[in-house]
């Protein structure tokens, strides 16, 4: 769940002139996809723009449709098998191909004789209802319209050459949804509204489903603080505390001097705080891989966070770098800001040049977010669609905590993110956004406790989004008391797991034994869960 990710990685050696770039997540994923199969053929479904013609929220209503793109894989399909609907989420459909080729949907298709389908979310990829994304045109981008898409598609989609004379549409065939992150929440909400006995959708797996909407979400940084290398965490925490002291002082000269250490004296306070947080995870916009991009699968994850910490804690940095630790020591009674030089050097020498090549480090061109005209561009884009959803229904603004240790500086508060919403979505003739997101529109489905028969929740205990998921530390303790309860309401927390780590696999059921043991058992649990669901289906139909 984030707006922008330019995937880069850095490692600083003891010789200041030497550094190398680690493999890019996108490039590795592309290699994996091309190694498995050719791209799937796109298909298009005539989807309703408005599933709620009596709701004043969507006035003026329309009976028009739009072309919603989808893909399918029938390689393992056997008559009577389930349809696995992968919810596309906040990206274009082709970016999900690996889930059919090598990931969790591939495992489930193979083990259950199922059909795999990727459905692109409305307002992403090639599935836009309108030629542009004005505030008025975005009024149909809501959770309730999106989950209605899933149910309507399941009832009416056609798959050439699959099923013969037997209808595989829902509810005549068992449709099992899968989604991760925002798509995981949409999976849970779809089952909540359209699942259960007698419902349209038979079952679903919500992986790291972000089902709870909050305005402020400082908890994003808690797993990093708890599980990250503690010398790195301690260094960043102490430096950020000192940075906040400088901001609190109101001393304009000292604030400018502090920014200049990082080569960012031209930036606003908020943009400065955002930019130096990129390796950790700045609010909404990241220009580097973070803790969220760690993964057990070497072809899908990134080591950028570990490399960042290696830089920050480098014990062999030359004096030209370590001397920077004293440049702001007047603020701390002559005490150095330990590892400030390493931190600033990483930002100036590696992160900014890689993220924004050919742009001067101290230019606003790379890290400036204060251009209202940029945000107001109404061109269709996934970034704009995701921002709209964030600003209207989900929130979860990453902010510095009000109290206690922090990895990001205090200027990063609700107002910093909200300004982008206000610039991006000027009031239209029929639609206007609120001053802050209407969280109840998401939480009405149950929040931490969203439930439905045959809805599975699976999360990772080291996921930065955990505290808006089913297994949140803010939710009740989760455990199953009987096999029947586990069949009806399956749930699993992956010890040591990150953001929907179950999504990745090694290509086939036979390769499960090659996975790390804790991932092996996650995938076997999912296969068993689906098998119990299918036995229940056959017993009742």
Closest CA to 337 of 265, 246, 250, 218: 246
- H/E element, 380: none
CB-facing half-sphere around the CA of 491: CA atoms within 13 A: 22
Coil, strand or helix: which one is 450? coil
Closest CA to 153 of 59, 88, 73: 88
Q: Which of 304, 325, 463, 502 is catalytic?
A: 463
- Cβ neighbours, 10 Å, residue 18: 9
Closest CA to 48 of 150, 124, 133: 150
Phi, psi dihedral angles at 279 (to 5 degrees)? -65, -20
Q: How far apart are CA 369 and CA 387, in angstroms?
A: 14
Q: How far apart are CA 381 and CA 435, in angstroms?
A: 23
Q: Which two tokens stand for residue 461?
A: 């205990």
Question: At a CB cut-off of 8 Å and minimum separation 6, what does 95 contact?
Answer: none
Where b means 16+ CB within 10 Å and e means fewer, 31-59 reads ebbeeeeeebeebebebbbbbeeeeeebe
The answer to whether 181 is a known catalytic residue is yes
Closest CA to 538 of 255, 202, 249: 202
Q: Which of 111, 127, 173, 181 is catalytic?
A: 181
The answer to whether 459 is a known catalytic residue is no
- Strands of 381-454, DSSP E: 395-397
Catalytic residues: 181, 463
């Amino acid at each position: 769940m984030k707006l922008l990710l330019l995937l880069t990685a850095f490692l600083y050696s003891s010789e200041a002139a030497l550094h190398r770039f680690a493999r890019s997540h996108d490039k590795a994923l592309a290699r994996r996809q091309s190694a498995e199969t050719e791209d799937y053929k796109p298909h298009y479904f005539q989807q309703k723009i408005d599933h709620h013609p009596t709701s004043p929220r969507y006035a003026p209503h329309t009976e028009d449709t739009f072309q919603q793109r989808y893909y399918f894989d029938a390689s393992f399909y056997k008559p009577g098998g389930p349809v696995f609907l992968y919810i596309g989420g906040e990206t274009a459909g082709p970016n999900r191909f690996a889930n059919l080729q090598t990931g969790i949907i591939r495992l489930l298709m193979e083990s259950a004789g199922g059909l795999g389908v990727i459905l692109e979310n409305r307002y992403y990829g090639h599935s836009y209802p309108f030629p542009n994304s004005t505030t008025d045109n975005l009024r149909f981008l809501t959770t309730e319209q999106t989950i209605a898409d899933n149910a309507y598609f399941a009832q009416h989609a056609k798959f050439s050459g699959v099923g013969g004379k037997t209808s595989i549409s829902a509810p005549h065939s068992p449709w099992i949804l899968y989604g991760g992150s925002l798509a995981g929440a949409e999976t849970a909400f779809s089952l909540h509204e359209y699942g259960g006995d007698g419902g349209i959708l038979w079952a679903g797996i919500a992986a790291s489903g972000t089902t709870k909407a909050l305005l402020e979400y400082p908890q994003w940084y808690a797993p990093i603080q708890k599980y990250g290398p503690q010398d790195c965490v301690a260094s960043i925490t102490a430096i950020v505390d000192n940075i906040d002291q400088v901001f609190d002082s109101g001393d304009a000269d000292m604030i400018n001097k502090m920014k200049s250490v990082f080569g960012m004296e031209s930036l606003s306070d908020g943009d400065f705080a955002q930019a130096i947080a990129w390796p950790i995870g700045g609010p909404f916009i990241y220009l580097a891989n973070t803790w969220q991009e760690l993964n057990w699968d070497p072809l899908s994850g990134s080591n950028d966070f570990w490399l960042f910490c290696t830089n920050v804690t480098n014990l062999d940095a030359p004096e030209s770098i370590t001397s920077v630790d004293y440049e702001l020591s007047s603020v701390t009674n002559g005490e150095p800001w330990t590892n400030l030089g390493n931190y600033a050097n990483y930002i100036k020498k590696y992160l900014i040049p890689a993220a924004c090549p050919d742009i001067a480090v101290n230019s606003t061109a790379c890290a400036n977010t204060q251009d209202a005209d940029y945000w107001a561009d109404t061109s269709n884009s996934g970034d704009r669609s995701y921002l709209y959803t964030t600003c209207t229904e989900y929130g979860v603004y990453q902010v510095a905590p009000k109290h206690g240790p922090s990895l990001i500086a205090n200027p990063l508060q609700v107002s910093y993110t909200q300004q982008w919403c206000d610039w991006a979505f000027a009031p239209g003739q029929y639609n206007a956004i609120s001053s802050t997101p209407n969280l109840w529109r998401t939480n009405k489905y149950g929040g931490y406790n969203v439930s439905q028969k045959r809805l599975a929740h699976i999360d990772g205990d080291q996921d930065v989004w955990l505290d808006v998921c089913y297994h949140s530390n803010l939710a009740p303790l989760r455990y199953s008391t009987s096999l029947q309860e586990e069949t009806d309401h399956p749930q699993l927390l992956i010890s040591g797991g990150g953001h929907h780590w179950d999504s990745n696999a090694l290509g086939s059921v036979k390769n499960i034994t090659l996975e790390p043991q804790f991932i092996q058992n996650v995938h076997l649990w999912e296969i068993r869960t689906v098998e119990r669901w299918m036995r229940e289906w056959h017993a009742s139909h």
